[in-house]
Amino acid sequence: MQPKYAPSAVSYEDLQSQLRFSSSLYAPPKEIKLLNDLRLHIIPETVQLRKKDGNAFLEKTELLTLVEWRS
Q: What is the per-residue DSSP string for 14-52?
A: HHHHHHHHHHHH----HHHHHHHHIIIIIHHHHHHHHHH
Domain residue ranges of the chain, discontinuous segments joined by +: 27-70
pLDDT digits (tens, 9 = 90+) for 15-65: 888 877 776 666 667 888 888 899 999 999 999 999 998 889 999 999 998
43, 70 Cβ separation under 8 angstroms: no
**Would you say residue 70 has pLDDT above 80?**
no
Supply the pTM of this predicted model: 0.56
Instruction: Tell me how far apart the alpha carbons of residues 35 and 69 are, in angstroms, rounded to a whole number.
Output: 6
